[in-house]
């Protein structure tokens, strides 16, 4: 009997320690620069639409606001967010396209609309982002490289791929999750080393084998403003509806 137990013990130990080398291989970060970018692009290109619900927190120097929302988007240029208050009461609808943004305030039956470029959209949102960047950020994508960006660093730090670029105006850094191939953090700095934008994602799960970040946070250090989005659920590549019809009696304000 003792020999049987000894044999079983050896088998168990062999199985446990036999798994260790394969785990180390999985966690190795040995891809080339081009391979990393290819995998990130492949993940991003698989996302065509998204549906989600969750909570959004906007923090500004004057205070913070928290609300729940449902979201539907079509890449690269269509977005609809329905904002809700206590007890699920709908309080507003925000739509965005490359040509126009609309915000309908259900509480006072007022519509704000305008061109989503420059200061017009900035006057409505706490952080300056264009329509394309907003839609991409909601599915865990961050601004792509400028033609003037030059790679100055490619390394593995803390188990993630770190890419750093210089351009005439700024330094840009991407930290990439080597398992999910999602940009886990993104930031820009001026040439004095002052951070301008810091963004990141976490709580990654999978929908149809596509990595889905359930927490997204974007911070403007210079303006002391931030947006935090926490999804309760998110699904990709299902039919969505981003259109919105302005109520005929609503008061319209052009920006």
Which CATH number do you get for residue 112?
2.50.20.10
Query: Does some domain include residue 11?
Result: no
pLDDT of residue 211: 95
Cα separation of 61 and 126, whole Å? 10
pLDDT of residue 20: 37
Per the structure, the complete domain to which residue 219 belongs is given by 33-254
Burial (CB count <10 Å: 0-12, 13-18, 19+), residue 215: middle
Contact between 216 and 140 under an 8 Å Cβ cutoff? The reply is yes
pLDDT of residue 250: 87
Residue carrying structure tokens 């149809």: 208
Q: How confident is the model at residue 9 (pLDDT cuts 50, 70, 90)?
A: very low
Query: Cα–Cα distances in Å, from 144 out to 65, 158, 242?
Result: 30, 23, 24
Q: Which long-range contacts (CB under 8 A, 24 or more apart) does 21-30 make?
A: 26/179, 27/159, 29/156, 29/159, 29/160, 29/161, 29/178
Query: Does some domain include residue 210?
Result: yes
Query: Does some domain include residue 6?
Result: no
Q: How confident is the model at residue 5 (pLDDT cuts 50, 70, 90)?
A: very low
Structure tokens at 207: 């929908």
116-152 per-position pLDDT tens digit: 876 666 666 777 787 888 899 999 998 888 888 999 9
Residue 5 phi, psi dihedral angles, 5° rounding? -65, -40
Contact between 180 and 211 under an 8 Å Cβ cutoff? The reply is yes
pLDDT of residue 12: 30
The model carries a pTM of 0.81
Structure tokens at 149: 């960006």
Q: How confident is the model at residue 212 (pLDDT cuts 50, 70, 90)?
A: very high
Q: How many domains does the chain have?
A: 1
Q: Which has the minimum average pLDDT: 8-12, 109-113, 130-134, 136-140? A: 8-12
Bridge partners, 88 (sequence order): none
Query: Does some domain include residue 103?
Result: yes
Q: How confident is the model at residue 18 (pLDDT cuts 50, 70, 90)?
A: very low
Mean predicted lDDT score pLDDT of the chain: 84
Chain centroid to Cα 86, Å, comes to 26
pLDDT of residue 184: 94
Query: Does some domain include residue 143?
Result: yes
Whether residue 251 is predicted with pLDDT greater than 50 in this model: the reply is yes
Query: Cα–Cα distances in Å, from 113 out to 75, 81, 83, 87, 230?
Result: 21, 15, 17, 27, 26
Closest Cα to residue 174, out of 190, 156, 162, 192? 162
Closest Cα to residue 131, out of 94, 186, 165, 182? 94
Report the pLDDT averaged over residues 39-55. Answer: 96
Query: Does some domain include residue 21?
Result: no
Closest Cα to residue 136, out of 61, 204, 218? 218
pLDDT of residue 129: 81
Query: Does some domain include residue 183?
Result: yes
Query: Does some domain include residue 173?
Result: yes
65-100 per-position pLDDT tens digit: 888 999 999 998 899 999 987 767 788 999 998 888
């Amino acid at each position: 009997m003792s020999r049987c137990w000894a044999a079983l013990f050896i088998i168990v130990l062999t199985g446990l320690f036999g798994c260790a080398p394969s785990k180390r291989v999985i966690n190795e970060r040995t891809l080339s620069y081009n391979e990393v970018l290819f995998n990130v692009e492949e993940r991003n290109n698989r996302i065509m639409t998204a549906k989600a619900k969750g909570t959004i927190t906007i923090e500004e120097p004057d205070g913070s606001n928290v609300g729940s929302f449902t979201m539907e988007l079509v890449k690269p240029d269509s977005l609809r967010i329905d904002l809700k208050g206590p007890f699920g009461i709908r309080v507003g609808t925000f739509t965005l396209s490359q040509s126009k943004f609309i915000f309908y305030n259900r509480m006072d039956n007022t519509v704000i609309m305008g061109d989503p470029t420059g200061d017009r959209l900035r006057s409505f949102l706490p952080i300056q982002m264009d329509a394309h960047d907003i839609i991409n950020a909601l599915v865990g994508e961050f601004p792509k490289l400028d033609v003037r960006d030059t790679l100055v660093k490619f390394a593995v730090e803390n188990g993630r791929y770190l890419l750093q670029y210089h351009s005439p105006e700024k330094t840009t850094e991407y930290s990439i999750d080597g398992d999910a191939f999602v940009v886990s953090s993104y930031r820009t700095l001026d040439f004095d080393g002052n951070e301008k934008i810091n963004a990141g994602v976490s709580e990654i799960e999978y929908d149809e084998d596509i990595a889905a970040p359930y927490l997204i946070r974007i911070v403007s250090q210079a303006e002391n403003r931030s947006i935090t989005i926490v999804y309760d659920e998110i699904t990709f590549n299902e039919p969505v509806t981003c259109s919105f019809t302005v109520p005929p009696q609503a008061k319209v304000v052009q920006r």
